Structure formats: structure tokens, C-alpha cells
A and B are shown apart, each in its own frame.
Chain A
Amino acid sequence: MQKQTIILLKAVTHILCLLPLLSLYRFYSSGALALNSDPINFITHFTGNWALWILLASLAITPIRRISVRISWLIRFRRLIGLYAFFYATLHLATYLFLFSGYDVVAVLDGLRAGHPAVIFEQFRQVWPYIWDDVMKRRFVQVGFLAWLILLALAATSPAAIMRAMGGKNWQRLHRFVYLAAAAAVIHYWWLVKTGVLSPWKDTAILAVLLLARVGYVLLKKRSVSTTKVVAAR
């Protein structure tokens, strides 16, 4: 694959990954968000959904590229897409902290315009008990936060220099936690919907397929290695 083509494709990937955010902005600027009855809930679900979908897309790269050596260059997009998953997960967390928690963004902006920067912290002090309550009591919040923490660690160690400093083996060990993050994200989704609501099943099925593809690949490789050994022993 030519370097130029990769650059071009990376640009396309950036655009595709930013489209959801752009559409959210369009939703706001067109006034449609104001018509939405529960915009906070809408933004929370929107950013959460896209974080999960993009994380699943990043997990799809390895099994897909194994199909053929000719598409092994796909690996060069994995980090980029993974970082976008972290980006949307962070927007999701920020939505929770600054909108869902009851943090009054409008009051803060008014306060800032009036020259009272302390309003940023005052608002936070007001909503902090609710956030703390959630973190201590509600398992769907805990498991979602765990997923974000893992993604944070992976994003922080994503530059090539850090990877070299850590050593490939250690780096890989750490980055295998992405499976835990994806599982935690799906569990977060199941635990937050009402009993009987089955909307997370699609994400669950996709994750299961992606994980099973890896298990299948390892088993297949083991079998082919052992066959080679048998042939060699003869």
C-alpha cells in the first residue's frame, strides 16, 4: 500500500469518525435539539452509542485483516479508530458530568460573562453529591466508568514512543484490556436499560462475533502448528 493512499484513507477515516459529532452539532444548530423533549438524555445516548460503535469498529479490524494478507494494512487504522472511541467515550462522560449531573451550563456561562469564574466550581460543588452517590451506589455507572478508565490508559499509551519505551510485550499486555473495556461498555448498556428492553442485543452480538473470531483464529493457528510439527516429526 502506497504511503499516499494510506494518508488519503486516514483523512477519510477522520472525516467518517467526526461525522457523528458534526451531525450532533447540526442537530443543535438547526434548532431540532430545542424541540427534543429530553436533549440531555439524547446527547448522553448519542455519545454513548457512538463510543461503543466505534470501539466495536476498532475491534473488527484485527479479525477482518486476518482474512487476507492483502488487507493487512488495515492494522494501520486501528489506533486511529480506537482513539476516536476514547474521544466519544470522553464526550459521553463529559455529558454526564456537565449536563446529566444537573451542572447548570447556562448559569456557568452567565456567571463567566459577568466575571465570576468561581461559578464553575460552585456549580460543581452543588452537583457533586449526586455524582458521588451514582459512583458509590449504581453498578451501571461503575462499570461504565471502568470502561472509560481503561480507554484512558490505552489512549495515554498509544504514541509510538511510549510503546517503544514500554516494550512490545508489556504494551500488548496492557492493550489486551480493550476486551475488558468493550465487555464493560456492553454490560453498562444492559444494566442501564429497563428489564425487558433488548436494545443492547445487537452490540452484544457484534462483540461476541468479534471475540469468537479471535478465539477461532488462535485455535486454528494452534491446530496448523501442531500439524506442521507432526509432519516435521515424520
Chain B
Amino acid sequence: MQRNYARGYDPEIKSADITSESSFEGFRKQRRLLIAGGASAVGLGIAAASRLSSYFTSPDTVHAQTLTSTPGKFNTSENQTPYAKATSFNNYYEFGTDKSDPAKHAGTLKTRPWTVQVTGMVKTQKTLDIDTILKHRPLESRIYRHRCVEAWSMVIPWDGYSLSEFINLCEPLPSAKFVQFVTLVDKKQMPDLPFGYDWPYSEGLRLDEAMNPLALLTFGCYGKVLPNQNGAPIRVVMPWKYGFKNAKSIVRFHFTDKQPHTTWNEINSSEYGFYSNVNPKVDHPRWTQARERRIDNSLLPHYIPTQMFNGYADQVAGLYNGMDLKRYY
């Protein structure tokens, strides 16, 4: 049988089998849509995976300068939190609200030159250079328990000297009853500064609390200069209080006769009191304070019971004699 192929005619192809031009177009469109859909799904997957990969990056090793310090009193012999954990899990909201943010972003903080102002009810207002303050007294290494209000805790060796020695240098007037710690705020050094907060971050103590020998003016940890995310170049550590009391990167010590405004207390006074002493009997509205997740070198942090005044009752309970600690939490 002769076939007429001249115009593409093949009698064995039934007309029903021929794809019409319009439906072919339709198929092509659908195929395009499918490819586009598949490609965007894969794209989203890759984007999500790359975001996830940021979780995997371990914190940069900080080549910090070492500090010379001698072992101090009040040391705990509990297992220390590894340096890598204590320097990659921080609440320093000026550098971002996630606990991994400060380690990533605090590199922009300039800790030299740095001056600290002494203002308010003092004999003479003055501005001190950080290195003057650093050399004022020999540094001690103090291994303290650190209890965050968020119910996790660490054991950290801090390097510094008693805050009382610095306060004596400031020469407060007898009328001064409180000391306020005002910390650095600088949009240039803190490009991630979250809005909605009344910066600068401010904390404070009653003067007799600040004079307690446990209160530490801190310049280092683990025998090294403080990493930026841990509050370089100068901070305070009061181990019997929740961690947020320990103001970081302080630029001003202000002496006053009135209870100073303190940041978290002002944001939500029902959750964060002015005193904020560690107290297992007063719950945070969103969780119990009766126990804490201790962060050390085990894979899963274990729960341990929280102690009154974080275990420093012998040193500090006397400061609060006669006070209703359920009311003054």
C-alpha cells in the first residue's frame, strides 16, 4: 500500500490520537506551572535548609587575652559550664533577642577606648578610664553559680574584684542609698538594637547589697578578658540574684537616694522585681523557679533544685531581714 507521507499524512494515526493545538498549549502551560512549582518547592527547601545550617555553626573561638588573677573566696566546686557554652548562650538584647545572637553580633562592640562615669550623690563626679578601674585592685577568680530568671543555670569562673572596693573609690555621699548601673547604647556598635525597649539597659542595687563582698565588679571569665557577648569590658555579677541584674558593658555608675529605674522591672514588674533574688518559693508567672536546668558538659542538661539566694544565703540573707520576699521578689 502506498502511503502519502508528503504532507505528514499517516493513515494509521487516528484523528482522535492527534493532540489538538489548544490542548497541547494547555499541557505545555501546565507543565511549565508544574516545573515552576517544583522548582520553587525545592528552592524553599534549600532556603530553609540553609537557614537551618546556621544552627550548626559552632561559635567562633575567641582568642581572648588572658588575665592574671588569684583564686578567690566563695568558690563552688560544682562542674563548670564549658567556656564554649557560656560564651555562645547569652542574653544581651542590644545584640539581638535570641540567645545565639550576641555571640554572632557583638563583634562590633568597641571596648577600647572606654570610660566610665561616676555621677549622682558622690563627693566628686568623675570619669574614669577602664584601665584605671581594671588596675585599681588585684583580680580574683571566683567560681559562682549563675542562675537565669529563665530557669537555666551555669557555673562560671569570673575574674574581677569586689564591687565594694570600686564603690569606695567612687566616694558616695552618706545620703546615697542606691547605685544604678547604666550600660552602653550605641546604634552604630549595636545595629541589631531591638526597638520597643527604653534603652539604655539599666539595673541597680541597694547600696548595702552592692557593698556585700559577693558582688563582683567583673572584667573577665575563665581567666580571659570578657568576650563582648558576656558584657565586655566591665560588668557586675551578683550570684544570689537572677542573671539579668548583672548589667553588662557599664558606662555609668549613678548614686541616688531613690530606687533607680531598672529595665526589666519597668517592662514587666509582675515578672521581674527590683530585688530579683533567686527564690525557689516565688514562681515566675510562666514557669516554676523551684528548679533549674544546669548547663554543663552533659548532652542533656539535668534539673537540679534551686536554692534560696542561689545557695548564698549565708552571705546575703541578712540583707533582707524582716522583708516579705514574696512581696519584694
Where the two chains meet, the residues of A that have a C-beta atom closer than 8 Å to any C-beta of B are 1, 5, 9, 12-13, 15-16, 19-20, 23, 26-27, 30, 32-42, 70-71, 99, 102, 104-106, 130, 133-134, 137-138, 140, 191-192, 194-199
Contact = CB atoms under 8 A, between A and B. Distances in A.
Interface string B111-126: 0000000000000000
Interface size class of B (residues with CB under 8 A): 35 or more
B268 interface: yes
Nearest to A71: B33
A196 B45 contact: no
B97 A23 contact: no
Q: Give the interface SS of chain B, mostly helix, strand, loop or mixed.
A: mixed
B30 A1 contact: yes
Interface in B187-237: 194, 196-197
21 contacts: A12-B41, A12-B42, A16-B45, A23-B49, A30-B56, A32-B55, A37-B81, A37-B88, A38-B301, A40-B300, A41-B152, A41-B293, A70-B29, A99-B300, A105-B300, A130-B288, A137-B283, A192-B286, A194-B271, A195-B267, A195-B268
Interface centre among A9, A37, A134 (most CB of B within 10 A): A37
In this complex, which of B86, B152, B299 has the most chain A Cβ atoms within 10 angstroms of its Cβ? B299
A197 B264 CA distance: 12
Nearest to B98: A199
Contact of A196 (B38, B58, B197): B197
Question: Which residue among A34, A42, A137, A194 has the maximum number of chain B CB atoms within 10 Å of its CB?
Answer: A194
A138 B286 contact: yes
Interface of A is mostly: helix
A195 B271 contact: yes
A19 B46 CA distance: 10
Contact of A27 (B55, B86, B285, B300): B55
B48 A19 contact: yes
Nearest to B198: A196
Contacts of B268: 194-195
Contact of A5 (B34, B49, B271): B34
Contacts of B328: none
Given A16-B45, A199-B97, A37 B271 contact: no
B287 interface: yes
Given A38-B89, A40-B300, A196-B194, A70 B30 contact: yes
A105 B97 CA distance: 30
A5 B35 CA distance: 11
A39 B299 contact: yes
Given A38-B99, A133-B288, A19 B49 contact: yes
A34 B296 CA distance: 10
B300 to A, nearest CB: 6
The 6 closest A-B pairs by CB, nearest first: A37-B89, A37-B85, A102-B303, A195-B268, A23-B52, A34-B299
Interface in B251-309: 267-268, 271, 283, 285-288, 291, 293, 295, 299-303
B289 to A, nearest CB: 12
Given A40-B293, A195-B271, A35 B84 contact: yes
Contacts of B293: 38, 40-41
Interface in B46-71: 48-49, 52, 55-56, 58
